[in-house]
Structure 1
Amino acid sequence: MNSVLQCLSNTRALHDYILRDEYSADINTTTSSMKGALIRAFATLMSDLWKKTDQADVVLTTAPFKSQIQRFAPRFMGYQQQDAQEFLRYLLEGLHEDVNRVTSRPRPITTDIDDSLSTSQQSMEAWKRFLRLENSKFVDLFVGQLKSTLRCTVCGHASVTFDPFWDLSLPIPSKTGQVRLQACFDLFTKEEVLDGDEKPTCAKCQKRQRCTKGFSIQKFPRILVVHLKRFSPQERFRGKLGCAVDFPVSGLDLSPYSAGQGPCKYNLYGVANHSGTLFSGHYTAYCQHPLSGDWYEYNDSRVRPISSRTVSSSEAYVLFFELAGSSHC
């Protein structure tokens, strides 16, 4: 929880939204299960973090905030080991719900998107349908859109679907040694063949055919959260992958994975690290100060300056990137 909160605290656009009190006007008291209690507790903690940083050795308690997040997601009751990416997902979902601009639930649209529309029109229609139900500052910042293409190997017909994502969970192609982050994106977007029992029904052939399926990113979010899948469910004893994933601190180019056009570069500003095993471990955070640009390590109640050169390590687990200023993706 601490490591995730530090990464969110150093998210510049979120910092401004909370500390300028812009969130207050957005609080949703009708469809939100928490009626604003979660974002208020989060905002109190954030403002205390930033207002009390001029005092040396101040340590804040997260207890009031923790009591609200466990009301929203009871799985976080108690103090057993939990997963940082899972916590982040629940937290963003709860904060989003508290400031969702959709204050009364519209009737769902159950019809399929017309596949005679162009790909970009289908993408826009899917995004519009998502925003009918989920629309907040958190969606503005964190949500992107994934494009999935299913192509029949017999007739060549391609059907596309578009899904929103809050983060990307990337497989790691190696158990040990060192790989580049791009290799994880390569594996994530690599086409897979669906054959045998996995054969889908081709919309054009009207029968089950051998197909290929691949992902690309249709809409990149302003804040891209990347989760490295270090815990392998395929392993008999669910071992942790200790492979070092090398990622740049600035200028990560994701254009090769884009379904659209234009340059697409990201700069790193936060890392949640996990040391230890699946059953016992410890989380720390590396974050770049949104105003000074300096890097710090957050380790429970201790904070110390670090060099940006030490940020990439074999313990990196959840990465936070911000879209670079000149990108058009």
Structure 2
Amino acid sequence: MQLLSRQQRRRCVTSADLLRVITLHSYYVPSFRMSYRSQAGLSPSSVCTRVNENLFLFEQNKSPQGLVGLRNLGNTCFMNSILQCLSNTPELRDYCLRNSHRTDLNNNCRTNAALMEEFAKLTQSLWTSVNNEAISPSDFRSQIQRYAPKFVGCNQQDAQEFLRSLLDGLHNEVNRVTVCPKVSVEDFDHLSDDEKGRRMWNMYLEREDSKVVDLFVGQLKSSLTCAVCGFRSTVFDPFWDLSIPIAQKSSGEVTLKDCLRLFTKEDVLDGDERPTCKKCKARRKCTKRFSIQKFPQVLVLHLKRFSDSNVRASKLSTYVNFPLKELDLREFASENSERAVYNLYAVSNHTGNALGGHYTAYCKNPALGEWYSYNDSRVSPMSSSQVRSSNAYVLFYELATSPHSKYQTCRL
């Protein structure tokens, strides 16, 4: 048996360390992965020494990862902006880098999981590139166009609509549910709001359950109160993002919370908008209000800058002051929901007007903790003080503190 010197024992990694090394480093540096695989047949001391040497080289010589641009294929800046935001979403990035998506692929999907595969390949390229040269997303573009034909061609598109379509496509291809249960009509009006929300969430997960849902989907509560009899009904719906109106002020700056207050404020439904009261059995004047019942791990906020009136399309360029850290949304939560605090990690920006413009992204690199500007092929460092601008269009927030709600993404 070969004896190791004291120095070798000090440098040698345990099997647990080796597993950690492979898990944390192998998908960042392809050469490391190949080097490890080539160790078969070597003595334990040789393996330990080689692994430690590889780790030393990895730590000393690695170039910053995730700082790779995407080539513009002809008005594809909307796509590039969103792809960079998603690439800097830590859990989604790791899901792709570890090829975990392959265990979730849904063989019943009409697209044969090609969209998820190309998205994962693109994410891997963005995070394992050695020379940081810009990458062409042409293969991915072909698959998203197959899934959503409205993105065929070189017309300018809306980044938020693209995000919706992409997340929907990715979810469908890794949906863990292969056989949907029969639709059952149940009356939950006799239940408390918390229990009703819980039942509705579990029913949703029986049909839609994926890593994408785990990250991006929350639950919105809509309360409708009759102005005549006072009867209150509640509806719970899943949401992938929240499209919030931009508040208008005669003086002072507009904040993100001003916009959220406008989104959740009580609205009066009267005239032609009168709904039917379940208790009165007649159309009545009602008040309606939104609140967040379940907070997602990743909260996507879409600032409604564009309007498409009968006259002409227009864009609001109002500066909205949004926090980079500790966005506390407690005041917008349902009655019994716990505190939820979010940190910003990505922004999709739009410069120009409603008829045309350009999309870029500001992302906080999860490995370095620094902000970078992604402008198609160009990637450059930036200060956190530059993140806020009147061009901010889609905000990506990550949950900083667990809400510890009565139900999470799992079934109870």
Same fold, TM-score > 0.5, yes or no: yes
Out of 67, 88, 101, the position equivalent to 1:23 is 101
Deviates more, 1:202-211 or 1:180-189: 202-211
What is the Cα deviation at residue 172 of structure 1?
0.6
* Distance in 1 separating the partners of 2:256 and 2:268: 24
* Distance in 2 separating the partners of 1:33 and 1:229: 32
Deviates more, 1:272-281 or 1:234-243: 234-243
2:107 maps to 1:33: no
Bigger Cα Rg? 2
* Distance in 2 separating the partners of 1:187 and 1:24: 42
2:10 maps to 1:10: no
Fraction of identical pairs, as percent: 54
TM-score of the superposed pair, with normalisation by structure 2: 0.77
Contact 2:176 2:210 in 1 (8 A): yes
TM-score of the superposed pair, with normalisation by structure 1: 0.96
* Distance in 1 separating the partners of 2:188 and 2:292: 20
Q: Which runs of 4+ in 1 moved over 4 A?
A: none
Question: Residue 244 of structure 2 corresponds to which residue in structure 1?
Answer: 170
* Distance in 2 separating the partners of 1:161 and 1:321: 25
Deviations 1:21-49 (A, max 9, x none): 1111000011x121211000001100011
Contact 1:199 1:211 in 2 (8 A): yes
Gaps of 5+ in 1: none
* Distance in 1 separating the partners of 2:253 and 2:308: 21
What is the Cα deviation at residue 326 of structure 1?
4.9
2:206 maps to 1:128: no
The amino acid of 1:165's aligned partner reads F
What is the Cα deviation at residue 324 of structure 1?
0.5
Question: Residue 159 of structure 1 corresponds to which residue in structure 2?
Answer: 233
2:294 maps to 1:216: no
Deviations 1:116-158 (A, max 9, x none): 0111111011111111111100000000000000001111110
Out of 88, 97, 122, the position equivalent to 2:163 is 88
* Distance in 2 separating the partners of 1:239 and 1:325: 38
2:265 maps to 1:265: no
Question: Residue 153 of structure 2 corresponds to which residue in structure 1?
Answer: 78
* Distance in 2 separating the partners of 1:297 and 1:234: 33
Contact 2:294 2:337 in 1 (8 A): no
Out of 179, 189, 202, the position equivalent to 1:115 is 189
* Distance in 2 separating the partners of 1:167 and 1:223: 9
The amino acid of 1:82's aligned partner reads Q
Q: Which has the higher helix share?
A: 2
Question: Residue 47 of structure 1 corresponds to which residue in structure 2?
Answer: 124
Question: Residue 374 of structure 2 corresponds to which residue in structure 1?
Answer: 298
CA gap 1:224/1:105 in 2 versus in 1, 3 angstroms:
same
The amino acid of 2:245's aligned partner reads P
Contact 2:313 2:355 in 1 (8 A): no
What is the Cα deviation at residue 327 of structure 1?
4.0
The amino acid of 1:238's aligned partner reads A
The amino acid of 2:80's aligned partner reads N
Contact 2:295 2:403 in 1 (8 A): no
Aligned residue pairs, count: 325
* Distance in 1 separating the partners of 2:329 and 2:135: 37
What is the Cα deviation at residue 294 of structure 1?
0.4
Aligned to 2:299, the other structure's residue is in SS state strand
Matched ranges for 1:297-316 at <5 A: 297-316=373-392
